[in-house]
Every structure is written in C-alpha cells, then in structure tokens.
Amino acid sequence: MTNTIKLPKPTLISVNDVTLEVFESGQENKGNPIILCHGWPEHAFSWRYQVEPLVKAGYHVIVPNQRGYGNSTCPEEVTKYDIEHLTGDLVALLDHYEYEKAIFMGHDWGASVVWSMSLLHPERVDKMINLCLPYQVRGEKPWIEFMEEFLGEDYYFVHFNKQPGVADKILDENAVQFMQNLYRKNVPAQAPGEGMEMINLAKSSVALGEAVMSDEDLSVYISGFQKNGFTPSINWYRNLDRNWHLLGEVSPIVEQKTLMVYGEKDVIPPLPNIKDFVPNIDVKSLDAGHWVQEERPEELNEMILNWLGK
C-alpha cells in the first residue's frame, strides 16, 4: 500500500450555521451517495484508501471534516458540539446535495454520529457501516456518570468533562508526540497505567508497536490540530451527557441494514447483544487495531463492497 494517496481538492460548504470542509469524488455517480464520517482525533483524510474503490463501485463519495476539524468551523460554545448539531450538519449536507437519504459510514466518534443519525433522523439514512465503535446502549445513568463509576475519574472521557482545559493544553503543547504515539499498531499488551491515558501518550517519549502510517500522512492530521487546537474536537466528549438526554426522546432501535466491523486487536469490546438494538446487522471483524481503515485497507474495502453489493 503506497502512501501517496491524496484526497480530491476540498470545497467549503455552508450548512447548519457552520462551514464544512468537504472532500467529494464520484460526482458522475450522482444519485448514489455515501457519506464517510471520521473519528477522533482524525481528519477526513483517514478515508483516503476507501474513496477511489467506492467511486469505482458507483458511489458519489462525500467526506466532510466535521465541525471542530480541519478547515471546518470550530464554534466556541461547548453545546454547539452536541449530537443534535453533529447530526444536523449531516442532514444539512444531504439537503445541500439534494439527497433524500444516503448510506453512512462512520469510524470511532464518526460511528457514534452515524448511530445517532439512524435514531434522530432515520428517514435520511439508507444503510449504515460502522467501524470499531458498536451501538452504545443508553442505560439508566448518563454516560459520564456511568463511566466514572466503572472506569474512574482518570478515564479520558471523564477527565475531559471533569477537568476542562487540562488535557487540551497538554495535547496542544505536545501535538506531534501525541499523534505519533497514538497512531500505532501491534502495540504489546500493557498493564493499565496510572493517570490519564491521553495525557500519558502526549508526554511519552517512547512510541510502542509500529507506526500506522507514514510521517507524511500523519502530518496531515497533525497540521489540522496545530491549526485548531484540540479543544473543539474534545468538546464532542463534553456533550455526552447532553446527548444521553437528547437520545432519551427517540426509539433506541436501529431499523436500517447495518454492517459492523470490529478490529480484533482494538481495546473497544464488541457489544454481545447488539442484535437486540440493531436487528438487521451483519457483524464482521478484521485482524487490526483501532485504525482499521488504515491498517487493513484492502481487506476492509473488499468487505464493505461485498456487503454493499449484496
């Protein structure tokens, strides 16, 4: 796999009171849209290996940098990153292209947004493909409260919420080292460390395992965070409890046909009873960690295209 793949030139599109930087390919396939939603701390560039195969298979591929990322708008107000705004951006993007619905594919936080699209705007979602992050069951307690109880105050989701600004500053000051340490594969198993995982990665001078991508590719991610800082993207985490309340008003059942792909070496565990919530799901896995589109691009593309072609 070469590292010379580039995304098409982006367009700035005004939707939902923000401007999104959107990379678009396969305009000749208009009428057959697929929207790819990146995770944290990523960039639309994370889908570079998927774009061309999807275009060749007949899809109009639309890849936004979501709010808080790249050259998209980074609102100041924390609540502007709640799930209503994040899914609202995608609905407005569909409207911009005059599409009633699209296939959505998400990775990590992008998968969370896609799951929520199917609950909040089911009529706009044709089918879904989600990578690494399974459906998140809405339990009786708001998510941050629940996580703090089970995973402690140093768990990064909790820390981001309980100590606003602390991690942001450290990640900003160590952006290059943090990204180099985070984007690794085949990392040897470690006993859980003390302190907050993301801060530890930002401060560590030792990178474990192997690099997921070339320095040239990683520089695309790094430059995005050097431009905006980490606060806008971390603000997504600061809306988890707000999202829990917003999602309490809709049915928790996902009706769309869905493909869920896990990385077998990922730290995020599968949801055993996912079919209770997503009855029309196919579950697959690949020998990969969390950065599955970049670790196993050919195998993933084949899996996705086979499923879409069914």
User: Tokens representing 256?
Assistant: 């769309």
User: Tokens representing 259?
Assistant: 């493909």
Determine the Cα–Cα distance for residues 83 and 106; give it in Å rounded to an integer: 14
Helix spans in 47-108 (H) = 48-56, 83-96
Instruction: Determine which helix (DSSP H) or strand (DSSP E) holds 281, and give its type and residue range.
Output: strand 281-286
290 classed as catalytic: yes
Determine the Cα–Cα distance for residues 309 and 303; give it in Å rounded to an integer: 10
What residues does 37 pair with on adjacent strands?
A: 106
Choosing from 108, 154, 168, 217, the catalytic residue is 108
Residue type, 280: N
Instruction: Determine which helix (DSSP H) or strand (DSSP E) holds 241, and give its type and residue range.
Output: helix 240-246
287 classed as catalytic: no
User: 91 with 85: CB under 8 angstroms?
Assistant: no
**Please, which residues have CB within 8 angstroms of residue 56's CB and are 6 or more apart in sequence?**
none
Point out the residues that are catalytic. 108, 290
